[in-house]
Amino acid sequence: MFRFSISYIVLFAATFQESSLGFHIPQQTTEKLSLSAAKLNEDNQREHSREGISFRNADDAITRRDIFDRFGVASVAVGLSLLNKPAIAFDGSGASAGSGYSPATKAEKKKKLQERIVADVKDFNKLGQTIDKGETQGPAWINFFIPFQRREADEIGRTYAALVDMRGIPTKKANEFEGGGGLLLANTFTQPGKPPDNTPAVKSFRKLSKTFDAIEAAGKSGDAAKAKKAWLETSKALSQYLTDVELPGNLEDPIYKP
């Protein structure tokens, strides 16, 4: 999965830049693209250090080795030039969503978070359409799974691809994520003075957040059948979550049309 030809990645990069999605594309030398995996890894570290681009260390959930393994050497060589470093740049941890805001402000924040989640679901549906075609790589996979931050928010206000925007970035704890709009939205349904973990929307979000990895793993192995099965399982959990956050639970609703 995600092992594209260099020409495809360059074209994809140019398309993202021209469509004002906010990805930053610094100059890269073609010489780097011809290096071996080990040499490229070493040179990228040195180059990115000079440019002020840092990666998470080995203790973090996403490491340089993870990225090379997941996307392939050629893809990473160009892909990293598209994107800034992984960072938490959302609205908070989710536990304090709505804290200290007036009812009108809370309602506005909820509406904006719902709009972001709708956009994420659209990308999830696009991914499903791609899987239906038997494809385990391509733009729909990148638009949903890539974990890097955009330089500028898109028209919905998202600074990350769909999954990170909805689920957040992994922490050091298993199955724990932070910063995503999905938990923030779920927490807006928590009653004052009540623990958020008892909120139905929070419960359904936590269940949902664990299901996406199976889709990505199937795509990485090139198994479209497994990817489809995993996608369908996630869609069930996603439907319940959407219902709990007062959005249409049917993924075929026109609001989620890609």
User: What is the residue-wise DSSP string for 10-60?
Assistant: HHHHHHHHHTT---------HHHHTS-HHHHHHHHHHHHHHHT-----TTS
How far is 141 from 136, CA to CA, in rounded Å? 7
220 close to 1: Cβ distance less than 8 angstroms: yes
**pTM as predicted:** 0.66
What are the sequence ranges of the domains in the chain?
A: 6-82, 103-256
169 close to 177: Cβ distance less than 8 angstroms: yes
Higher pLDDT, 125 or 94: 125
pLDDT at position 65, please? Answer: 52
Model confidence pLDDT, tens digit, residues 137-176: 999 999 999 999 888 988 888 999 999 999 999 889 888 8
Model confidence pLDDT, tens digit, residues 67-85: 545 555 444 443 444 444 3
Question: 222: left (phi > 0), else alpha (psi -120 to 50), else beta?
Answer: left
How far is 209 from 135, CA to CA, in rounded Å? 23
110 close to 185: Cβ distance less than 8 angstroms: yes
What's the mean pLDDT when you consider all of the chain? 74
Q: Binning pLDDT at 50, 70 and 90, where does residue 5 land?
A: very low
157 close to 116: Cβ distance less than 8 angstroms: yes
